[in-house]
A = this chain, B = another copy of it.
């Protein structure tokens, strides 16, 4: 059999696994958006069956032989060629999956199901102690996972790699530290400057049907294709892909708060645009798949914050907003509205945080989870350490663990190494947006005219269409000519909030 024939066999095998994964996504979407309350138990059985089938296909021994052959063949000699990148990424994932003992995978599945249940109750009762044993167990299993996968320097590398492939803890630490050193003083300066927007503007009555219409119109305007996607309501919004031409975004509406649904829709539409921009002929294969959670988040943050929270965006959209929400906005000036949607305020809850302080919330989690994985911090000491760090970074101290260390689902679900991808997304977004601004000759004027196509096409051309051909690190270098830095994001924040808050 020639190497080409082996590759064809691999692709036939993987194509079927991708189909099963798409089915899994469809059932997951249904579960979160549509399924009647009592449907959950049987749905869980379906998901378990599919997960087992997918795992079995993903770890089939035959694949290992094929990948070994292909990796040593001329087809893989250029790691950035079509076949080279495909073989490289498929093999990388396979090698990781077969390193995990089945018993560990099952233990983790059980512990995280229990973990999420216990976490939910613990948060409701503000009772960290009841959560501590299962969280300790989860961290212990994640340490085992890191050991099974292997790492050079930091055990945390092996976990981070699940969400941000090839990223290294030391590098992420360095770039985020650079960000923190400049961000903490900026946030303090904003807090102490004596100016603040009238946030009551976005807390008036915004009827849900108008929010839906306006949000869909904005998503369509930036390029989300409703022939290839849809928007629905869910409790915890997300974006998911059910096939090369089936992308579903979700939101939730609060009639008394404009920001949550509108910027949520732009955020998820940004994720959706990335998926829509991938190579559909390679759907599910490395050349047609997203690089990393950080790059994914850069696309959502770019549309949500860099575009959606800009003054230029509202120059274009504010008249339509005033027509859709006459009761709330007819008498409100554009500048007051724009200031209100850009309120910066140190707070306790990550998911409600603004564009500037958000990254400080992430930094805290990143430092804490690293410390636990490396053995420097005990799970029992997490609440105290958490509160200390909030005091230092944001000047606020959680009155309770429910508003502190218990607020996020991630650790209970075993998602350790996930948090930094949120901030990496903001950093990538800052660097990409600055580059696009240079390449396209000033985005502000285009955005103010409602012209989003040049930016969207730039993103497709520079980022989306490559799939996983390059690692995130390579891609940033390739697109912007330099490695990832905190400087573009900080410049954006300083320029924007400097003007809004009248900072010197």
Write the residues of chain A forming the contact surface with B, with a CB cutoff of 8 angstroms: 16, 19-20, 22-23, 26-27, 30, 34-39, 41-43, 45-46, 49-50, 226-230, 242-247, 283
Q: Please determine whether A228 and B19 come into contact, CB atoms closer than 8 angstroms.
A: no
Which residues of chain B have C-beta atoms less than 8 A from A22's C-beta?
42, 46
Our pick among B39, B50, B230 for the contact of A36 (Cβ within 8 Å) is B230
For the complex formed, measure the closest distance between the CB of A49 and the CB atoms of chain B, giving whole angstroms.
Answer: 5
For the complex formed, measure the closest distance between the CB of A45 and the CB atoms of chain B, giving whole angstroms.
Answer: 6
Which residues of chain B have C-beta atoms less than 8 A from A20's C-beta?
49
Residue of B nearest to A37 (CB): B227
Q: Please determine whether B30 and A26 come into contact, CB atoms closer than 8 angstroms.
A: yes
Which residues of chain B have C-beta atoms less than 8 A from A246's C-beta?
35-36, 38-39, 42-43
| Selected A-B contacts with CB under 8 Å, 5 pairs | A23-B50, A35-B246, A36-B229, A36-B246, A42-B243
Which residues of chain B have C-beta atoms less than 8 A from A16's C-beta?
49
Residue of B nearest to A23 (CB): B46
Q: Output the residue of A45, A229, A245 with the most chain B CB within 10 A.
A: A245
Report Cα–Cα, A253/B22, bound state, in Å.
Answer: 31
Which residues of chain B have C-beta atoms less than 8 A from A36's C-beta?
226-230, 245-247
Which residues of chain B have C-beta atoms less than 8 A from A23's C-beta?
23, 27, 46, 50
For the complex formed, measure the closest distance between the CB of A313 and the CB atoms of chain B, giving whole angstroms.
Answer: 26
For the complex formed, measure the closest distance between the CB of A248 and the CB atoms of chain B, giving whole angstroms.
Answer: 8
Which residues of chain B have C-beta atoms less than 8 A from A228's C-beta?
36-39
Report Cα–Cα, A46/B16, bound state, in Å.
Answer: 9
Residue of B nearest to A44 (CB): B243
Report Cα–Cα, A226/B226, bound state, in Å.
Answer: 29
Report Cα–Cα, A42/B245, bound state, in Å.
Answer: 8
- Extra A-B contacts (17), CB below 8 Å, given A16-B49, A20-B49, A26-B26: A19-B45, A22-B46, A23-B23, A23-B27, A35-B246, A36-B226, A36-B230, A36-B246, A37-B227, A38-B227, A38-B245, A38-B246, A39-B242, A39-B246, A42-B245, A43-B243, A46-B243
Q: What is the oligomeric copy number?
A: 2
Report Cα–Cα, A75/B242, bound state, in Å.
Answer: 45
Report Cα–Cα, A26/B35, bound state, in Å.
Answer: 10
For the complex formed, measure the closest distance between the CB of A26 and the CB atoms of chain B, giving whole angstroms.
Answer: 6
For the complex formed, measure the closest distance between the CB of A220 and the CB atoms of chain B, giving whole angstroms.
Answer: 13
Our pick among B39, B229, B244, B283 for the contact of A243 (Cβ within 8 Å) is B39
Report Cα–Cα, A447/B84, bound state, in Å.
Answer: 71
For the complex formed, measure the closest distance between the CB of A74 and the CB atoms of chain B, giving whole angstroms.
Answer: 31
Q: Which 7 A-B pairs have the closest CB atoms?
A: A42-B243, A39-B246, A38-B245, A37-B227, A38-B228, A19-B49, A38-B227
Which residues of chain B have C-beta atoms less than 8 A from A49's C-beta?
16, 19-20
Q: Output the residue of A38, A43, A229 with the most chain B CB within 10 A.
A: A38
Residue of B nearest to A22 (CB): B46
Report Cα–Cα, A45/B284, bound state, in Å.
Answer: 14
Report Cα–Cα, A200/B175, bound state, in Å.
Answer: 72
Which residues of chain B have C-beta atoms less than 8 A from A244's C-beta?
42
Which residues of chain B have C-beta atoms less than 8 A from A39's C-beta?
228, 242-243, 245-246
Report Cα–Cα, A25/B190, bound state, in Å.
Answer: 55
Report Cα–Cα, A23/B247, bound state, in Å.
Answer: 19
For the complex formed, measure the closest distance between the CB of A154 and the CB atoms of chain B, giving whole angstroms.
Answer: 40
Residue of B nearest to A246 (CB): B39
For the complex formed, measure the closest distance between the CB of A128 and the CB atoms of chain B, giving whole angstroms.
Answer: 33
For the complex formed, measure the closest distance between the CB of A22 and the CB atoms of chain B, giving whole angstroms.
Answer: 6
Q: Please determine whether B41 and A245 come into contact, CB atoms closer than 8 angstroms.
A: yes
Report Cα–Cα, A30/B26, bound state, in Å.
Answer: 8
Residue of B nearest to A43 (CB): B243
Report Cα–Cα, A38/B226, bound state, in Å.
Answer: 9
Which residues of chain B have C-beta atoms less than 8 A from A227's C-beta?
36-38
Which residues of chain B have C-beta atoms less than 8 A from A38's C-beta?
227-228, 245-246
Which residues of chain B have C-beta atoms less than 8 A from A26's C-beta?
26-27, 30, 46
Report Cα–Cα, A207/B165, bound state, in Å.
Answer: 53
Report Cα–Cα, A45/B23, bound state, in Å.
Answer: 10
Residue of B nearest to A226 (CB): B36
